[in-house]
A and B are shown apart, each in its own frame.
Chain A
């Protein structure tokens, strides 16, 4: 995509985000924007393993929860350290777990890998449910700090934080997509055996993929406890997280880094609008139906439809010219 336009846009987005915190008063917008960006990060993360590499997994929700519970653990163990520390530590923890899980499950092919990742997520959930230190099944309460540096309220700080994480996720994803590694991942996705025989170190690249996915998911989950102030396994490990992580890129488009961004924006907006104005169950239903619709009829997602559209226009032009 855009080359030298990319970095200025990223910088501009960050500055615009900061500007919002000074100009906008209604806190609701920050909550909504946080939710949308969280979706984007989850979609970007899932897409690295699922879209770029072709390894569909249902366990990504587990890494999100690992991020959230790392924050909880640090909160309890070190008496509420600054969130920034958790945000730096959580991706490392979830990334390492991603690496470990990958090492054991990537030997499995396709479908078995997907099911194995689900199993890993459930087992992680069971461990957390039985771990009283971080609240167990009953959950854990967090108090939002009263003093906030530089911003008017804590949610504004969370907003800027997640904006930064989203931009980093986009940068990482774009780098992977357009680099030699990205080509290797695409080769693995298209035909893993052929890729291996053409010199692509498939295991190493797959491990990079799972580690990055785990890390980004953990980064998305790290501020979550402060966002909702009450963390319990049922919500952190909720199937909804896994579904959203898949829905966002499948609807937006799995082939490039921009698909999950579009998908996150679209789904996030639908989610906020429907949940607030109608009901949260109906929102889930809509998400499910849209997801299934896209999977069945337009598996390349919105970006795929857009590319088909461009091709169609070009063909028309050639025919007429």
Chain B
């Protein structure tokens, strides 16, 4: 792999006595689409938290675009281009939909984005997710799918080079899942590397160029979708012995 955009080495995260992640190594190339799967409790969200900076790892390093970002705050990482969506969407409820986008545009993307004509740029992101007609609506009372759309639009507005998508499709209908997939593909077209955590297998299989499997905090497989499906360790992790 050419210089990877993200290199996680020997990452270990403990909560008291419980070891959530144990010496995980992952690397990601620019513009790559990586699927991250594993049974419940295997540490996927913890890994996302450690990469995005919401949690700090006890051991190991996180390297982004060639620099060591271990220990830097989440807001700094967002400004470097690492952006995440949340499993349960977290809109800024006192703001309208378009105002929600102004936050990442002005803060996370402040180095990468022209700070003029922000409304036009925000509308572009809204168009990608299909919320452009509701830009001035308040964000507090949206449906589940609309909140996911807003979550993605907001992540987009931060002009990321790496997007961490944490179960964005959970609980959505089949057509809604396809919609989100289209948005993620479009994002990827624009040069954004994506790590996708999902339980919806068909989405993971369709989207990922490569899949990493976690089980009980350890990485047990790393390969193409076909390789993963055929991997007996993966089957054992999900189904038990």
Q: A198, B54: Cβ atoms under 8 Å?
A: no
In the bound assembly, the distance between CA atoms of A189 and B108 in angstroms comes to 18
Binary interface profile of A, 171-208, with partner B (CB < 8 Å = 1, else 0)? 00000000010011011011101111111111100000
* Interchain CB contact (< 8 A) of B92 among A186, A201, A255: A186
Given A183-B102, A183-B106: A199 touches B158 (CB 8 Å cut-off): yes
Given A196-B73, A201-B73: A191 touches B103 (CB 8 Å cut-off): no
Most buried by B among A190, A197, A202, A255: A197
In the bound assembly, the distance between CA atoms of A193 and B75 in angstroms comes to 10
Instruction: Give the size of the chain A interface in residues (CB under 8 angstroms).
Output: 20
Given A190-B92, A191-B90: A199 touches B104 (CB 8 Å cut-off): yes
Q: B73, A198: Cβ atoms under 8 Å?
A: no
Q: B108, A199: Cβ atoms under 8 Å?
A: yes
Instruction: Bin the interface of chain B by size.
Output: 20 to 34
Most buried by A among B74, B95, B154: B74
Given A183-B102, A183-B106: A197 touches B78 (CB 8 Å cut-off): yes
In the bound assembly, the distance between CA atoms of A180 and B106 in angstroms comes to 7
**Chain A residues near B218 (CB-CB < 8 A):** none
Restricting to B87-114, which residues have a CB under 8 Å from any CB of A?
A: 90-95, 99, 102-104, 106-110
Nearest B-chain residue to A191, judged by Cβ: B90
Binary interface profile of B, 164-190, with partner A (CB < 8 Å = 1, else 0)? 000000000000000000000000000
Q: B94, A199: Cβ atoms under 8 Å?
A: no
Q: B92, A199: Cβ atoms under 8 Å?
A: no
Given A190-B93, A190-B94: A199 touches B110 (CB 8 Å cut-off): yes
Given A186-B95, A193-B54: A200 touches B103 (CB 8 Å cut-off): yes
**Chain B residues near A183 (CB-CB < 8 A):** 99, 102-103, 106
**Chain B residues near A184 (CB-CB < 8 A):** 103, 106-107
Q: B94, A201: Cβ atoms under 8 Å?
A: no
Q: A193, B104: Cβ atoms under 8 Å?
A: no
* Interchain CB contact (< 8 A) of B103 among A193, A195, A201, A203: A195
In the bound assembly, the distance between CA atoms of A77 and B24 in angstroms comes to 62
Q: A197, B75: Cβ atoms under 8 Å?
A: yes
**Chain A residues near B53 (CB-CB < 8 A):** 196-197
Binary interface profile of B, 34-54, with partner A (CB < 8 Å = 1, else 0)? 000000000000000000111
Nearest A-chain residue to B102, judged by Cβ: A183
Q: How far is the CB of A175 from chain B (nearest CB, A)?
A: 16
In the bound assembly, the distance between CA atoms of A192 and B159 in angstroms comes to 20
Q: How far is the CB of B115 from chain A (nearest CB, A)?
A: 9
Q: How far is the CB of A318 from chain B (nearest CB, A)?
A: 15
Q: How far is the CB of A247 from chain B (nearest CB, A)?
A: 22
In the bound assembly, the distance between CA atoms of A70 and B83 in angstroms comes to 46
Q: How far is the CB of A51 from chain B (nearest CB, A)?
A: 11
Q: A198, B154: Cβ atoms under 8 Å?
A: yes
Q: A197, B94: Cβ atoms under 8 Å?
A: no
In the bound assembly, the distance between CA atoms of A201 and B73 in angstroms comes to 8
Q: How far is the CB of A20 from chain B (nearest CB, A)?
A: 38
Q: B95, A198: Cβ atoms under 8 Å?
A: no
Q: Supply 15 A–B pairs (Cβ within 8 Å), ascending by A.
A: A180-B107, A183-B99, A193-B54, A194-B86, A195-B103, A197-B75, A197-B84, A198-B75, A199-B103, A199-B108, A199-B158, A200-B75, A201-B73, A201-B107, A203-B73
| Nearest 5 CB-CB pairings of A with B | A199-B108, A199-B107, A199-B78, A194-B90, A190-B92
Query: Which positions in B face A, CB cutoff 8 Å?
Result: 52-54, 73-76, 78-79, 83-84, 86, 90-95, 99, 102-104, 106-110, 154, 158
Other than the known A191-B91, A199-B108, what 6 A-B pairs have Cβ atoms closer than 8 Å? A189-B94, A194-B86, A195-B75, A197-B53, A198-B103, A199-B78
